[in-house]
Amino acid sequence: MHEKKNAPLRSDAQRNRERILEVALVELTRAADTPLSAIAKKAGVGQGTLYRNFPSREALVLEVYRYEVEQVAATAAQLLADRAPDQALREWMDRLARYSMTKAGLAAAMGKATAYGSFAACGHGPLTAAITLLLRANDEAGTIRPGLTPDDFLLAIAGLWHIDPHSDWQARVDQLLDIVMDGLRAGAPGR
């Protein structure tokens, strides 16, 4: 069983993939529920090609916004440098929420992606890494209950994916994250 070592894509495949992402960004921003078939057509590729690159709608959305998501993930380290671990965690959750609500379809995709099985398994490293970082820092500072895994964390904030991004989400997000943050804090050993 020979592994295909991190697949050096063929040149045309590479081009197709990028053209799909370009088109998808435009179309999904315009309407989050644009048919995938329409995106394939506009990108000038067959359905098969689109689905080979992105097995599901969620995979495509996540990839489209990957840069944004990676940015958010990257701020974790930054925030930890600037403030107390628990403050950093809370601020980070706020930013994650803000991005999810702002980018059309991202919240829904996150919800699907985190459903039924670990998010980590989906190969979306950056987010998991960021969460791990934040949790460890807080764990060491004794500001959260011990033994929390990234999966626990993602379940705790799952409510985010159920908030309508077209409504007054700010207040509901604040309330939810207050509850979650306090929940994570409870049982903390203290420093």
Interface residues toward a second copy, by CB under 8 A: 111, 114-117, 145, 151-152, 154-159, 161-164, 167, 172, 175-176, 178-187
Q: Identify the residue among 23, 28, 36, 133 touching DNA (CB under 7 A).
A: 36
If binding is defined by CB under 7 A, does position 187 make contact with DNA?
no
C-beta closer to a second copy: residue 40 or 144: 144
C-beta closer to DNA: residue 115 or 179: 115
Give me 10's structure tokens.
């063929």
C-beta closer to DNA: residue 15 or 83: 15
If binding is defined by CB under 7 A, does position 1 make contact with DNA?
no
Contact 80, 141 (CB under 8 A): no
156 binds, among DNA, a second copy, none (CB under 5 to 8 A by kind): a second copy
47 binds, among a second copy, DNA, none (CB under 5 to 8 A by kind): DNA
User: How many angstroms separate the Cα of 98 from the Cα of each of 47, 66, 131?
Assistant: 32, 15, 16
If you compute the radius of gyration of the chain from its CA atoms, what whole number of angstroms results?
18
How far apart (Å, rounded) are the C-alpha atoms in residues 85 and 89? 6
Number of other CB atoms surrounding residue 174 within 10 Å: 12
If binding is defined by CB under 7 A, does position 157 make contact with DNA?
no
Q: Identify the residue among 5, 11, 123, 166 touching DNA (CB under 7 A).
A: 11
102 binds, among a second copy, DNA, none (CB under 5 to 8 A by kind): none
How far apart (Å, rounded) are the C-alpha atoms in residues 101 and 84? 26
Q: State the DSSP code for 119.
A: S
C-beta closer to a second copy: residue 24 or 156: 156
Contact 86, 143 (CB under 8 A): yes
